[in-house]
Structure 1
Amino acid sequence: MKKPYVFITRKLSEQIVSSLKEKYDVNMWEHESTPVPRETLLNEVKKATALITMLSEKIDEELLEAGRNLQVVANLAVGYDNIDVQAATKKGIAICNTPDVLTDTTADLTFALLMATARRIIEAAEVVKKGEWKSWSPFLLAGHDIHHKTIGIVGMGSIGEAVAKRAKGFDMNILYHNRSRKPEAEKSLGAKYCSFEDLIQQADFIVCLTPLTPDTKKLFNREAFNKMKKSAIFINASRGPVVDEKALYEALVEGEIAAAGLDVFETEPIGADHPLLSLQNVVALPHIGSATRETREAMMQLCVENVDRVLSGKSPKTLVNKAWEKQKV
């Protein structure tokens, strides 16, 4: 009997993939840093029973239509805005993601980005490396305090709550806006629920951790930045398209806000000639929110387990499209 065929769209840890190879016919794209070409992916999905994908792959209706034997797509990320979940559900394909295992790691990076932006750490390091540090002076690279300031978290999921825990350690006043209230977070962290408008007007640090949906696309636009404090620092560690980057650039140049720390962008990788990268008050990172070896390997392991469970006739651990399970029954 022919083994199910699993295609992995990026080179992953051989040690983790080996468990799949014992049971299935596995093929893995040979490059770690270069995305699989669309044409190659379309050819591979024609044979595939399962895919393990990255955010860089667009799993749209065309690709799902080509994957006539496809049973499961395991996405190496919490987000799945690269996947047409509705189309997959109609075709009886399970969609899985990797939540929880990256919560603390992403929260660490988010708070590190906030600190680097507020205290101008990247600028300061460059001054030393370039030999431009000539003497001490009272306002040399003076940034902004973090402790006892107000943080506003937009998107209070598990990562948002983990960021709030870190903020509490800095004695920060914690505001949050979310689709639903989080009574436990309010009780344990002293977080206060407020409207989006109140949050952006009151917070010293606005941290975006919301998923990308039609409602959140370009949520942070010119109007939003205009309502923020001139001393406000904006941090985005969610998805690039929730921000109107032209509006952000203009807000930073015109002094409507003080600075921005960005781990995600509308188009990734961002071009070196992008206007935002020309600004000293922008700290830009290459989408490394969950990028520690331990966490990335845990994400890979979860993808592998989800694929194996579906191909073995079981429910995956982290199913996105709950309707798939109902169809299965």
Structure 2
Amino acid sequence: MPLPVILSTSPRSIVEGPYQRRHASMSPHELRYSSRDPKQLARDLAEADLILGDWTAELKLDRHALDAANRSRIVVHPTAGYDSIDVTHAAALGLPVANTPGANARGVAEWAVMAALACLKNLTLNHQRTRAGEWRMVEASAEGVYDVGGRTIGILGFGAIGQGVARRLHAFGVDRILYFDAFVDVDSIDGGAPVERVQSVAELCERADVVSIHLPLTPETRHIVDAENLRRIGTDGVIVNTARGQVVDEDALHAALVAGTIKAAALDVFSDEPLIGAHRWADLENVLLSPHLAGSTHESKQQMLDGALRSLDAALRGDLPRSVVNQVTSLRLL
């Protein structure tokens, strides 16, 4: 009897290391790697019993790809974000989609804190000036170099990453941490740091000096940080986005950065990725840019792939992983 086929849509270079460490303990199976060509991908998907999503999020599992995967029992995505998969259509097909939450929480939280500090200190601009032979020590404070202690931090989305940001910033002496999350309601976090839940995104942006975004991209969160909320953050305000580019209205953000109606932004994610070649962010001095690497630390990548492989192994044994995101309650049986 042929072994069940796990089809990895993630590149071999991403999967191979974690897979070599884990595959011997997994239920018997055959691992294959999909083509990046759409026509060949459809043929590969037709032969898959289980699917590992694309860690790079470049290869999309849209409705046509999912229709081709007509014998698959489950899709397991190796990151927390899963917007590269049409989860609604998967649900209509009875195909569960699971993600891998929390595996990169430390890496992303560390990046967000680093970026907030860099923006408050005008780090990128002063690095460029010093390299060019300028010495602006005296002018620095007037140009807006700030302590983080005593600032009000607003965290949009208060899951594992948002709470990790709060813990780390509390250690810097930040004693006013606000958050907005429709599903979390706490007044302190691990370590005893006090936090305050606000009732709206508007209130968070109005009161915070730094807004750090940690929401998934859904129809409800698309452009949730719009022009009006950017105005509320104000001219000394900083926005950090490690979530998804489309959570922010990027046109409005770009305009605000050009006009100086917001101090600075740190962007690890963009609406259109990869961000290659000439682009509109390149000429701005008040933006820190990063190629979607906050969760790509060596440790995070290992943990994400390891978690996804554990979920696939559970599915091979007939068990549904706990992290299903599209409300399908059993493996698809064909």
TM-score (norm 2): 0.88
| Match runs of 1:158-169 below 5 Å | 158-169=160-171
Distance 1:142 1:227 in 2: 18
Distance 2:134 2:68 in 1: 62
Other-structure match for 2:138: 138
Distance 1:115 1:39 in 2: 46
**Once the 2 structures are TM-superposed, how far is the Cα of residue 320 of structure 1 from its aligned partner?**
2.3
Other-structure match for 1:217: 222
Residue in structure 2 matching 1:175, options 173, 178, 183: 178
**Cα deviations across residues 16-58 of structure 1 (Å, max 9, x unaligned)?**
223448722212259xxxxx23333222101111111122222
The verdict on how the C-alpha distance between 1:193 and 1:308 changes in structure 2, with shifts beyond 3 A counting, is same
Kindly indicate whether the alpha-carbon contact (under 8 Å) linking 2:186 and 2:197 is maintained by their aligned counterparts in 1. Answer: no
Instruction: Answer with 232-241 or 264-273: which moved more.
Output: 264-273
Residue in structure 2 matching 1:258, options 258, 263, 275: 263
CA RMSD of aligned residues (A): 2.3
2:281 is paired with a residue whose SS is: helix
Residue in structure 1 matching 2:152, options 145, 150, 153: 150
Distance 1:72 1:149 in 2: 45
Other-structure match for 2:103: 101
| Correspondence 1:289 to 2:294 | yes
Residue in structure 2 matching 1:242, options 235, 241, 247: 247
**Once the 2 structures are TM-superposed, how far is the Cα of residue 63 of structure 1 from its aligned partner?**
1.0
Distance 1:159 1:310 in 2: 27
Other-structure match for 2:44: 44
TM-score (norm 1): 0.90
Distance 1:113 1:38 in 2: 37
| Match runs of 1:1-329 below 5 Å | 1-9=1-9, 10-11=11-12, 12-18=14-20, 19-20=22-23, 23-28=28-33, 36-54=36-54, 55-128=57-130, 130=131, 132-135=132-135, 137-140=137-140, 143-172=145-174, 173-185=176-188, 188-194=192-198, 195-325=200-330
**Once the 2 structures are TM-superposed, how far is the Cα of residue 326 of structure 1 from its aligned partner?**
8.8
1:143 is paired with a residue whose SS is: coil
Distance 1:227 1:111 in 2: 21
**Once the 2 structures are TM-superposed, how far is the Cα of residue 81 of structure 1 from its aligned partner?**
1.6
The aligned amino acid for 2:197 is Y
2:330 is paired with a residue whose SS is: helix
The aligned amino acid for 2:18 is I
> Runs of 5+ in structure 1 lacking a partner?
31-35
The aligned amino acid for 1:111 is V
**Once the 2 structures are TM-superposed, how far is the Cα of residue 136 of structure 1 from its aligned partner?**
5.8
Kindly indicate whether the alpha-carbon contact (under 8 Å) linking 1:206 and 1:234 is maintained by their aligned counterparts in 2. Answer: yes
Instruction: Answer with 179-188 or 2-11: which moved more.
Output: 179-188
The aligned amino acid for 1:192 is E
**Once the 2 structures are TM-superposed, how far is the Cα of residue 83 of structure 1 from its aligned partner?**
1.5
Paired residue total: 321
**Once the 2 structures are TM-superposed, how far is the Cα of residue 78 of structure 1 from its aligned partner?**
0.3
**Cα deviations across residues 150-176 of structure 1 (Å, max 9, x unaligned)?**
011111111111111112112221011
2:328 is paired with a residue whose SS is: helix
Other-structure match for 1:33: none
